[in-house]
A and B are shown apart, each in its own frame.
Chain A
Amino acid sequence: MTAPAVPQARAGALAPPPAREPGPVARLRRSAATPPGRLRAAGAVLAALVLLFGAVAVWQSVHRSRAAGQVVSASGPLSQDAAEIYLRLADADATAAAGFLLAVDEPATVRGHYQDDLSTAAERLAEAAGRSGGTGDPKLTELNQQLSRYAGLVETARALDRQGLPLGGAYLRYASELMQGTVLPKAQSLAEDESARLDSDYRAAGATPWAALALGVLALAALARYQVLLFRRTNRVFNPGLLGGSLAVLAALGWLLAGTMTAGDDLARGRTYGTRPLRELDQVRIAALKAHTAENLDLVARGASDKYTKQWADLVATLDQDPRTVGSVSGLQAGAPPDAANLLTDAASAYQQWQDRHKDAAAQNSAGNYEAALQRTLTAGGPDTADAAFQDAGRKWKDAAKVEQDAFAKATAGLDGMLTGQAVAAGVLSVLGAAAALRGIGRRLAEYR
C-alpha cells in the first residue's frame, strides 16, 4: 500500500500545497478529513477492531483451555485422590481394629488389606504432592508425617499383642484416636479444598467468553456498516477484501461460539456422569466406612462406652434416608451413569445384608453373647458375617467409582486440546480478517490514484 503518495490528487485541490511543515498529528487530522484519509482511518480502525477481537478471543480461550486442562488432569483427579486418601485411611483404622478382634485368628488377608490401605494412601499422598506443584500443600506434608506415626503405633500394638500384653490394646486405642481425631479431619479438609478447587476450575473452563464475543460482534457490525457505506457511495455491491474479512471474523466468532457450547456440554457431562455422582458416592462410602469402623471399635470397647453405638446409629440414619436425599445409599442409582447403575444396585443389596447381619450381631451383643456377636460380625474367612457383606458392598462401590471416573475422563478428554485449537483458530482467523479488510480498503484507495 503506497498510501502517502495517493492523496495528492484531491488534497491539492482543497488546500494549497505548502506541504511538509506541520507536525504529524496535524497532518493526520488533515489527511483524515480527505476521502482517502477517511478510508485509511476506517481501515486502521477496522483492522484494529478485528485484531483486538482476535487477541481477546485467544487470551480467553487460552485461559479456559488451561482451566479445562486443570479439570482434566489436575483438580479432577486430585479431588478424587483426596477422597481416596480419606477412604483408605478410614479403612486402615477399621481393618486394624478387625485384626485386633480376630487376635490369633487374623488371616493374612486382613493384614494384607491393612497394608494395602496404608501404602495406597501413601502413594496417593505422594501423587497429590506431585500434582499440586513444587512447594506442596502443608496439609499433605502433615498427613504424611501423621500417617507414618499412626503406622508406627499400630505396629507397636501388634508387637505387644504378640507378647500377650493388654498394653497392645491401649496402643491401638491411642492410634485409633490419632486417626479419628487428627488424621481423618485433616484428610477431610484436604478433600474439601480439592473439591472447591475443582469447582472453581469448572467455572473458569466453562465461562462464556463474553468480552471476545462482544468484540467479535462489534467488529462484524463495523465491517458490515462500512460495507453498506461504501456500497452507497460507490454503488459497487461487493468489496472482496472487506467481505473476506467479515467472513473470517464470522468464522472465528462461530468457532468461538460452537467451542464454548461444546466445552460447556463436555463439562456438563463430566459433571453429570463423573464429578457429581462420584462425589455422592464418595460421601456414601465415607459414611459407610465410618459406620464400619464404629462397628468394630464398639466390639473392641466391649461395652465400656456407648459412643460407638451412637455413632453407628447416626451414620446409618444418614445412609438409610430416602433416595432423594444426597448421601443415601438408595439415592446413588438415580444420578449414576448407566454402566454404574447395576453395580450400585448390587452394592445396595450387599449394604442391606450388612445392616441385617449387624442387627443380628447387635441383638446377640445386648443379650450378653459377646462371642456370638463377634462371630456374626467378624470371623476369619467367614462368608456370612456383617464384615463380609460390608466388604462386598465396598468393592462394588469402588468399581462403580471407577466407572464414574472413566465417564468423567471420557467426557472431558480432549477438552483442553479443543480449547487450545479454538485459541489458535481465533488468532489465525482474526489476523487473516484484518489483512483482508486492509486489502479491501487498499483496493478502494487505489481508485483515487
Chain B
Amino acid sequence: MRTARSRLLVAAVVLAAGVFATGSADGAGGPAPQAAVLAPEAPAAAADSCDPTVSLPPRKVVGTKIAKIIERDTLLVGVDQNSYNWGFRNPKTGRIEGFDLDLAHAVAKSLLGNPDKITLKTVTTAGRADALDKGDVDLIARTMTINCEHKIAFSAPYFRIAQRVVVPKSAHAKTLAEALNGKRACVAKTSASETELKRDPHGTVSVRAMENQLDCLVLMQLDEVDATLTDSELAAAQVAQDPRVEMVGEPILPGWMGVGMDQKDTDLIAWVNQVLIDWRASGGWQTSYDHWLRDTMGAPDPYLP
C-alpha cells in the first residue's frame, strides 16, 4: 500500500509540475513550485479512498486550462434546461436560469471579471463525461452527484442531496417500499438513480430510463409509469411543478453535488473550489438558495455542504 501510494505521489508531482510549467510558459501561469505543493492531495482522493467530499485544495492559480479560458474570453458551461429552479429554461423569456446557473455565473465572474462571459451548452445526463472529454465544455454545473467512477473530476461539494421517490398522491404510498414494490419506475438515463435500481430493483416491475428526470414526470402524469426515483432536489422540483405528486419514503443514498470538470484541468478544479468557498462566505450561496429553493425546499440546513 505504502509503496504504491508513494509511487503515485511521485507520478502526480511530476505530472502536475509538467502541467503547471506549460501554464507558465504560456505567460499566464502562476509560480510552478506552489503548484507542486498542492499536488500530493489529489491522487490520495482519487486512488485511495472514495470520499466524495475531498477535492483539490482551493487555489487561484492560472494554469493551462484557465489560460485557454481567458484567451477565449468566455466560459463554456454545461447546463441542464429541465431542472426547475436549478437549471431551467424559463419558458417566458427563453433564458436558462436557476441555482446552478448562479454558481456558473460566479465562476465566470471570478475567472473573467464578468458574470455574463459565459456560453451555455445543455448536456444530457448521459452525455456529461463525453462533453468534458471532447472539450465541448469547461465545466458542468447541472445538479451532478459526485461519484467515484473516475470518469469526471469533481469540485468540492456545494450541496447535500439524497435520492427520493416521487409518486402521484393518489397512490397513497407512505414508504419507499410501497412506492416502488410492484410498480413501473422511471429514472434518468445513467443517473445515480438508475445505478441504484440496477443494483437493487426494490421490487419494481419495470424501469424506464429517460433522457431527463423531467420526462419521468410527464410519463407519470400520462400514467405510463407509477413512480420516479431521482435526486432529492429534482424530486422537490417535480413536486413544485405538479401539486398532484409528492415525495414519499425515506431519502436513500445520501450524497453531494459537485461541479464536474476534466481530470486534466487541475488548475480549474482548484480555482472552482476557491470560488465555492468565496461564494459561501459572501452570502451568494444563501441568496441563491433563498431566491430559487427556499419556497420548495424550506430551510437550507439539511443541504449545506
Contacts and interface: CB of A to CB of B under 8 A. Distances in A.
Interface in A148-168: 160-162, 164-168
B121 A303 contact: yes
A368 B88 CA distance: 18
Given A301-B122, A304-B123, A304-B127, A170 B82 contact: yes
Nearest to A369: B119
A13 to B, nearest CB: 100
B120 interface: yes
Contacts of A226: none
- Interface size band for A: 20 to 34
Interface string A354-393: 0000000000000011100010000000000000000000
Interface in B172-229: 211-212, 214-215, 217-218, 222
A237 to B, nearest CB: 90
A165 B97 CA distance: 12
Contacts of B214: 166-167, 169-170
B123 A167 contact: no
Interface in B68-95: 74, 76, 81-84, 88-94
Contacts of A301: 122
Interface string A299-327: 00111110000000000000000000000
Interface residues of B, number: 31
Nearest to B238: A167
B55 interface: no
Nearest to B72: A368
B125 to A, nearest CB: 10
Interface string A130-159: 000000000000000000000000000000
A77 to B, nearest CB: 37
Given A165-B84, A304-B124, A304-B127, A170 B217 contact: yes
Contacts of A162: 91-92
A304 B81 CA distance: 9
B41 interface: no
B114 interface: no
Contact of A170 (B90, B94, B127, B215): B215
A250 B143 CA distance: 89
Contact of B91 (A164, A304, A369, A374): A164
Contact of B81 (A102, A169, A369): A169
B242 interface: yes
A178 to B, nearest CB: 11
Given A165-B241, A368-B74, A173 B127 contact: no
B121 A167 contact: no
Interface of B: 74, 76, 81-84, 88-94, 96, 119-124, 127, 136, 211-212, 214-215, 217-218, 222, 241-242
25 contacts: A101-B94, A102-B94, A103-B93, A104-B92, A160-B241, A162-B92, A166-B82, A166-B83, A167-B84, A167-B214, A167-B241, A169-B91, A170-B214, A174-B218, A174-B222, A301-B122, A302-B96, A302-B120, A302-B122, A303-B121, A303-B123, A304-B81, A304-B124, A304-B127, A370-B120
Given A161-B92, A303-B121, 11 more contacts: A103-B92, A160-B91, A161-B91, A166-B82, A166-B84, A170-B82, A170-B218, A302-B120, A302-B122, A304-B123, A368-B121
